[in-house]
Structure 1
Amino acid sequence: MLKFASISLLALATATPAFAETADSDEIVVTASGIEQPRDQVGQAITIIDADTIEKRQTVDIVDLLATTPGIRFNRTGSTGSVASVSIRGAETTQTLVLIDGVKVNDPSGIGDGYDFGHLLTSNIRRIEVLRGSNSVVHGSQAIGGVVNLMTATPAEGFSANASAEYGYSDTLSAKADVSGTAGPISGGIGAAYFRTDGISSAAVGTERDGYENFSGNARIKVALGDALSLDLRGYYITSDLDYDSFFGAPADSGDVAKLDQYVGYAGLNLGLFDGRFNSRAAVTWMRNERDYFFVRGTDPDYGYKGTNLRFEYQGVVTPADSAKLVFGYEHERPDYDFFGFGSTDSQKANIDSVYALGIVQPLAGLSLTGGVRHDDHSQFGGATTFGANANYSPNDGETNIRLSYGEGFKAPSLYQLYDSFSGNAALRPEQSKSYDIGLDQRLADGRALVSVTAFLRNTTDQINYDNATFTYGNIDRTRTKGVEATLALRPVDALNVTASYSYIDARDRSGRPAFDGKRLPRRAAHAVSLSADYDWSFGLSTGATITMVGDSFDDAANAVPLDGDALAGIRASFPVGGHFEIYGRVDNLFDADYATAFHYGTYGRAAYGGVRARF
């Protein structure tokens, strides 16, 4: 059952950093349509986690930041660095599309092309946009549940440098630094981050700690080649080394090791013509995941995977009038994967060609309408066509926003599901979804309060699952998810920010199979609450706390293995020293709650950390 921690509202009101759901109505978002848009022109549900929130919360794991977002559920199989998956509005974790600096990073070598958030630390990530709901018109495959868009810092005007280092529980060391600047027509930045920990036992019954080491680097440069032409280069790299506990059967202490190298690259040209009325972007993106697994450290890898996705993108934006835009584009991508181990090797690839068009118009004051269509042609299963439309209406200059959204999503079968020599099925069809939203955002008290409520429904068909009757993958599942998301953001005085969010997700199997039909989908708790506040004291001290409460769920599709809900609380503080330095610290899981996000896997108890930041 759900375990509640006792924290008074007064304590919360002098505590936690605010979530950026309180963004101004004119804040720019890019995830909804693939171009910059004022937020009050978007009819879809989007949450923004900005640089200030990331810094104040002092969070290391991206999934811990996402966990306070309405509609998000996650699970992690043990210590930091272990496999971590994110579900949006009850969708499969493989139906979450992930972008890093505009590059799709879902792994083509995974069983379902999912993304492992376990190795993605906050490092030098400066902004996260979470779009909830199906949106394949803009983003193509995987965007059934929604999109998580992560961005590093844009180069500063002049010169800027930041660095931080912290130490804490389980001999954990984290350090990061970045520099950026602009000189004439060239702007750029580079950053690096290092993390190591002795960790915890990933197996709940284990006694040995599973350590983890992670290094990440990022760089970007933009060169103005003329008044209308610019070159944009971006790169992101992660390398990691993880001790983990064997997952063949119930997890138990073992000497298993996993190593990852992830490469992300983007090279683009931007051209603006006719006084900005016609803008073009042509880019090549490249992502490669290399995963090696060892039964014993120091030996040759026993098995491994390599997944690569090479993409070409063209996007055009025509603005015939200030109140209208046409976005259109062409994409070609070539995912491929390689596997070795257990006496065999395998290598497969596919080609996907896509075209799309999206219209955005403001026919009258306060009303914004968006609609579009996309067609994807896959070299194996053929074509998939998706539609989407949304509207945002404000009768009072952004004080009230009424949002409506309809989106279709699809997910191509993974190369493993199509071609694996034992369980592959070349006749698989893409998974398809239809998603409906209706929402209301209401500002009160001269903008010091925001109430946001969204109701949603999504039906997914042809969902791919392993068929125990044929021992192959098949389009055997149907699911339905419905629910409500609500956020209350308050700023009663300039120094205090309070945010509360709640989401209800009813995610159920609708396959018709007697053992599963009507059951709740695994690891999707129906209820989740997050309450945060932060207070900036007049003498410079900043204090904060967050509490998240997640209801009961099940670890399996038959709903035979329950997972108890949990309530976790954390507190934090920071204090400036001089003009360029700041000391900070936090305590996670303040009340040492015993909980699990995946059956048989361990979680962290109470843990404290402290560090210092420098800015120039």
Structure 2
Amino acid sequence: MKYLLTTVLLLLAVSQKIKAQVADTLDLGEVVITASKTPTSERETTKPVTTITHAEIQKAPGLSVSELLNRQTGIMINGAVSSPGKDKSVYLRGAATQYTLILIDGFPVTDPSSEGGAFDLRLLSLENVERIEIVKGSMSTLYGSDAIAGVINIITKKPDEGLVNANAKMAIGSYNTNELSLGFNGTGKVASYNVNLSRTFTKGISEAEGEDFNRDGYERYVGSTEINFDLTEELTVTPFLNYSNYAGDYDAGAFADAENTYEADLINSGIRFNYKRNNFELRAAGTFTDTERKFIDDFGVFNPKANLWNNDIYGVYSFAENVRLLAGFNYQDLNFELDGIDEGSNIVSPYTTLYLGSSYGLNTEFGIRLNKHSEYGTNWSFNISPVYNITEELKVLTSLSSGFKAPTLNELFGPFGANPDLEPQTSLTFDAGLEYRSSSSGFSAGVNYFIRTVEDLISYDSSIGYVNVNEQNDSGVEVTSSYTWPETRVNVYYNYLDGAITREGEEFDNLIRRPDHSFGWGIQQNLSPDLIADLNGRFIGEREDLFFNMSTFQNETVELGSYILLNVSLNYELPEYNASLFASLNNLLDADYQEVYGFNTPGVNFKAGFRLSL
């Protein structure tokens, strides 16, 4: 009851603070990079883009990367609100985790040894994140394999002005959780730097559902450093290094306790080059991502290792204000080690896109990419995205894009059912949408519809191993709206999803753990010049899951019930001390829910702490 009373009081405070006047609060010219690989205003983008800004991240200091992403329209991170150490599955527009490409500063961090090559979000800390850009729809023309559903670009922080700046954060929370972070950055005459360190520890809750089960916690260390050398006015060179170490516990499965352990080490390093002069810009990067994981359970030790060398160079030339040509070349080398197996593959990909604008509001982007894989041969991907700006504030988006997902090294050469003759999974996606953003009224809204088909799905057959079979067909609608007053911001979204797999001529619903209907909302209110309250929630509809019954040794379909999560957070600024205090209370209604059948979720829980900048 006390949590309900807190919620009611906050809602009353919000309603009494709303003012009738409006202000110019929306920046219609906000620049994004991920959608086109070059700085582009949101008005010019040809794909649906969601931007989590630096200001939004600052107002959510108690969240993890997966929790923050889970609050965005069109995204569901399964495991984000389960046991803190539970693995995280990214469902962008309902697509399987393997179809969303994770980028750090525009370059992939794929793990070739994991299931489908998916990257483990638990290895990332939000402390060094400046902003996050999410582009929906196939992006294979620009980013290659894995970007069938879209891309999530984690953009790291940039140095502030001044030679030496420092920041720190400390937080405590439920389940013996504590977080510490420390950062230094600065800008000199010819160079700037940014260094960040963080540690997170929690005893957690039992991952599996059951009485008197052991807690499953984790400990994570994250470090990052970046140096920008301004060699000339036109040329910047940036070496960087990101490192993560994660050690945690996990259970044996649904309703099954165990003392299993999981460890992971991530090294992401490289060097970026940026040259810009007049109407020409050249960007290049060589990045190395090395992932080593170790599972220890009753069956022994499972210790896969993998790395990805990614080399990308592209140039952008603006012939005129509304004509822009991008041409690039990408080379990826992937390697995989496990139980005496040491195999690799590579992909060579030239690509180009052409952006054509017009004075009457019609803008179109054309793109094409050739992919030459060392194992399966060649395939093409393309993109056609016309956009019509009806007014400065209203635009219609459409696109037709193909995509591909190369077989992983585990599927090609791994110890369990490997098949070196696998073909790539290929997709075709159609998007159509309407977006409205008004700076004068503070109102924005959008509706987007998509149809996606994925062919030659790679499935595992216990008798023959990995094979190309089946076809996946998905469709959905996303509706979003937000309204901003001088001291209040309200946003609401709704997602509808439908999908089925075709197997031997028959269709089967297969969007496991993904609901047909979901919606969310958020209210941010300035209770005073220095105090901000955020009340947000999400409704997740009924959905199906699969449960492996140890008695019958068969998969059984089970239904997961719908649930509502309600959370509140407060952020109090202390400008005279360059500090802030924050606190959050999650699952206010103490909802009893499941993200995965047979696995546990937390009740009411809290986190509180402070941040300091010098």
Q: Answer yes or no: same fold by TM over 0.5.
A: yes
Is 1:500 aligned to residue 492 of structure 2?
A: yes
Partner of 1:472: 465
**Which amino acid counterpart does residue 362 of structure 1 have in structure 2?**
G
Is 1:30 aligned to residue 33 of structure 2?
A: yes
What does 1:272-283 correspond to in 2, within 5 Å? 272=276, 275-283=277-285
Partner of 2:72: 69
Partner of 2:112: 108
**Which amino acid counterpart does residue 359 of structure 2 have in structure 1?**
L
SS at match of 1:556: strand
Matched-pair contact (CA < 8 Å) for 1:124–1:193 = no
Is 1:487 aligned to residue 486 of structure 2?
A: no
Whole-Å Cα distance in 1 between the matches of residues 126 and 389 of structure 2?
35
Matched-pair contact (CA < 8 Å) for 1:263–1:287 = yes
Partner of 2:552: none
**Which amino acid counterpart does residue 473 of structure 2 have in structure 1?**
R
Identity level (%)? 29
Q: Output one character per residue of 1:5-50: Cα deviation in whole Å (capped at 9) or x when no partner.
A: 99669718839xxxxxx96221111111111111111121110111
Matched-pair contact (CA < 8 Å) for 2:26–2:438 = no
Choose 53-62 or 568-577, whichever is displaced more. 53-62
Call closer, same or farther: CA 1:559–1:11 in 2, change over 3 Å. farther
Whole-Å Cα distance in 2 between the matches of residues 145 and 136 of structure 1?
9
Partner of 2:286: 284
Is 1:419 aligned to residue 417 of structure 2?
A: no
2:443 to 432, 442, 449: 449
Partner of 2:308: 309
Whole-Å Cα distance in 1 between the matches of residues 359 and 409 of structure 2?
47
**Which amino acid counterpart does residue 65 of structure 1 have in structure 2?**
L
**Which amino acid counterpart does residue 356 of structure 2 have in structure 1?**
V
SS at match of 1:523: coil
SS at match of 2:35: coil
Matched-pair contact (CA < 8 Å) for 1:530–1:547 = yes
Matched-pair contact (CA < 8 Å) for 2:395–2:434 = yes
Partner of 1:210: 216
Matched-pair contact (CA < 8 Å) for 2:183–2:197 = yes
Whole-Å Cα distance in 2 between the matches of residues 197 and 211 of structure 1?
5
SS at match of 2:357: strand
Partner of 2:42: 39
User: How much does 1:435 deviate?
Assistant: 0.8
Q: Output one character per residue of 1:158-210: Cα deviation in whole Å (capped at 9) or x when no partner.
A: 25432211111111001222222211121121111110011000011152111
What does 1:335-346 correspond to in 2, within 5 Å? 335-340=334-339, 345-346=340-341
**Which amino acid counterpart does residue 36 of structure 2 have in structure 1?**
S
Matched-pair contact (CA < 8 Å) for 2:34–2:106 = no
Call closer, same or farther: CA 1:9–1:507 in 2, change over 3 Å. farther
SS at match of 1:66: helix
Call closer, same or farther: CA 1:12–1:51 in 2, change over 3 Å. farther
Partner of 2:242: 236
Matched-pair contact (CA < 8 Å) for 1:59–1:65 = no
SS at match of 2:412: helix
Give the TM-score normalised by structure 1. Answer: 0.92
**Which amino acid counterpart does residue 376 of structure 2 have in structure 1?**
F
Q: Which runs of 4+ in 1 moved over 4 A?
A: 4-10
What runs of 5+ residues in structure 1 fail to find an aligned partner? 16-21
**Which amino acid counterpart does residue 435 of structure 2 have in structure 1?**
D
User: How much does 1:422 deviate?
Assistant: 3.8
Aligned length: 591
Partner of 1:294: 296
Whole-Å Cα distance in 1 between the matches of residues 425 and 255 of structure 2?
31
User: How much does 1:539 deviate?
Assistant: 4.5
What runs of 5+ residues in structure 2 fail to find an aligned partner? 16-24, 548-554
Whole-Å Cα distance in 2 between the matches of residues 484 and 530 of structure 1?
14
1:591 to 580, 589, 592: 589
- Say which structure, 1 or 2, has more relative contact order (CA 8 Å, 6+ apart): 1
Matched-pair contact (CA < 8 Å) for 1:404–1:437 = yes
Matched-pair contact (CA < 8 Å) for 1:507–1:524 = no
**Which amino acid counterpart does residue 50 of structure 2 have in structure 1?**
T
1:509 to 501, 504, 517: 501
Whole-Å Cα distance in 1 between the matches of residues 5 and 449 of structure 2?
28
Is 1:374 aligned to residue 369 of structure 2?
A: yes
**Which amino acid counterpart does residue 344 of structure 2 have in structure 1?**
K
Q: Output one character per residue of 1:52-72: Cα deviation in whole Å (capped at 9) or x when no partner.
A: 212212343222111222211
Whole-Å Cα distance in 2 between the matches of residues 160 and 14 of structure 1?
36
What does 1:531-542 correspond to in 2, within 5 Å? 531-542=521-532
Call closer, same or farther: CA 1:301–1:279 in 2, change over 3 Å. farther
User: How much does 1:220 deviate?
Assistant: 1.3
**Which amino acid counterpart does residue 559 of structure 2 have in structure 1?**
P
User: How much does 1:123 deviate?
Assistant: 2.7
Whole-Å Cα distance in 2 between the matches of residues 423 and 586 of structure 1?
46
Give the TM-score normalised by structure 2. Answer: 0.92
Whole-Å Cα distance in 1 between the matches of residues 26 and 35 of structure 2?
16
What does 1:252-263 correspond to in 2, within 5 Å? 252-263=256-267
Call closer, same or farther: CA 1:354–1:199 in 2, change over 3 Å. same
Q: Output one character per residue of 1:277-314: Cα deviation in whole Å (capped at 9) or x when no partner.
A: 22222221100111012238xxx982211110012111
User: How much does 1:120 deviate?
Assistant: 2.7
SS at match of 2:274: strand
User: How much does 1:366 deviate?
Assistant: 3.0
Whole-Å Cα distance in 1 between the matches of residues 496 and 50 of structure 2?
17
Choose 56-65 or 79-88, whichever is displaced more. 56-65
Whole-Å Cα distance in 1 between the matches of residues 344 and 61 of structure 2?
40
Query: What is the Cα-based RMSD across aligned positions, in Å?
Result: 2.3
Partner of 1:11: 11
**Which amino acid counterpart does residue 571 of structure 1 have in structure 2?**
V
Matched-pair contact (CA < 8 Å) for 1:522–1:559 = no
Whole-Å Cα distance in 2 between the matches of residues 559 and 144 of structure 1?
29
Partner of 1:569: 566
Q: Output one character per residue of 1:140-165: Cα deviation in whole Å (capped at 9) or x when no partner.
A: 00001111110111112225432211
